Amino acid sequence: MLDDDATPIHPLFAGAPSSTGFRKLRKRIVRETRDAIEKYGMIERGARWLVCLSGGKDSYTLLAVLHELQWRGLLPVELLACNLDQGQPGFPATVLPEFLERMGVPHRIEYQDTYSVVIDKIPQGRTYCSLCSRLRRGNLYRIAREEGCSAVVLGHHRDDMLETFFMNLFHGGRLATMPPKLVNEEGDLFVYRPLAFVAEADCAKFATAMNYPIIPCDLCGSQDGLQRQQVKQILDGWEARTPGRRQVMFRALMNARPSHLLDPGLFDFAGLMRGAESGEDPLQSTKMPPKLRDPD
């Protein structure tokens, strides 16, 4: 059973704190990850997943939890960890290979100097995130195909999804966020985000408690005034004034009502009739939404 403390654990959890607080944290993260995997239909029995590892707290949490689920027979897929070394100056290239070897985690380390491309193409003072993420995503898709993987698995968590939603709302003029599951534009790979229900704070507590060797992103993390940073500050303020606000807003993303929005592509307002005329519930629509691309 998942919560049986006598059950052997994966080496990624070896040396975990024995405190009640940490055990509750671990169980919560594992439960929420398992819930997201099941709710959004991510499991293809016998599939191979490319688990993207940046060296940040979120990707370490993702890696550990997926291996814990696999270790306990709850995730019947093969996992291949992958780090894309993007050529950032000062990047500690030996940290992740040594860690993964020590943990017995199958992995691939790929070097592609996308840093120089980003620095060359983006004018000074502009943010790097969009181009950097596109170049990274293209390389990860290529690696997934080369390794026979059916899915690219990312460490985005609940707060990333909320921040992306508000960035699209404030700056993009659309209601969209990072979906927990999508198909890439070529149609040959899934993209999964199993930490969709996990709070960023829990990822930080977990990775810190496990003493994983965190590698900061010095490329985009060193830039001031990013839209995501501004949105994060707004959400932090709301959460401080009303604890639990983030979770309430996240639940709203799972409870959309097209008939109470304004998009005629999602709800057939023109064809809406009074109940007596249609013989159907006027708040129901059989029209399906268009396929959405993954926001940067």
pLDDT, one tens digit per residue, over 122-154 is: 777 677 777 888 888 999 999 999 999 999 999
Residue 281 predicted with pLDDT over 50 = yes
Report the distance separating Cα 112 and Cα 96, nearest Å: 16
- Per the listing, tokens 């500050």 go with 233
User: Do residues 80 and 49 touch, judged by C-beta distance below 8 A?
Assistant: yes
How much is the pLDDT for 38?
97
CA Rg value for the chain: 21
Long-range contacts from 4-10, C-beta under 8 angstroms, 24+ separation:
7/72, 8/71, 9/68, 9/71, 10/64, 10/67, 10/68, 10/70, 10/71
Q: Which residue, among 291, 285, 290, has the nearest Cα to 268 in the 3D structure?
A: 285
Q: pLDDT band at 2, cuts 50/70/90? A: very low
Exposed, middle or buried by CB within 10 Å (0-12, 13-18, 19+), for 70? middle
- Per the listing, tokens 């709800």 go with 267
Residue type, 188: D
Beta strand pairing call for 181-183 and 190-192 = antiparallel
How much is the pLDDT for 291?
47
Residues 6+ apart with CB under 8 A from 97: 83, 107, 109
> What is the CA 156 to chain-centroid distance, rounded?
2
Q: pLDDT band at 264, cuts 50/70/90? A: very high
Long-range contacts from 111-115, C-beta under 8 angstroms, 24+ separation:
111/85, 111/87, 112/84, 112/85, 112/86, 112/87, 112/139, 113/86, 113/87, 114/86, 114/87, 114/139, 115/86, 115/87, 115/88, 115/89, 115/219
| Cα distances (angstroms) measured from residue 245 to each of 166, 234, 252 | 14, 12, 11
Report the distance separating Cα 99 and Cα 121, nearest Å: 33
Residue 7 predicted with pLDDT over 70 = no
Q: Give the full edge-to-edge strand order of the sheet including 78-85.
A: 107-111, 78-85, 48-52, 151-153, 190-192, 181-183
Q: pLDDT band at 218, cuts 50/70/90? A: low
How much is the pLDDT for 277?
59
Q: For the packed helices 200-210 and 20-39, what is the interaxial angle rounded to 10 degrees?
A: 130
Report the distance separating Cα 292 and Cα 96, nearest Å: 34
How much is the pLDDT for 180?
97
Beta strand pairing call for 190-192 and 107-111 = unpaired
How much is the pLDDT for 285?
47
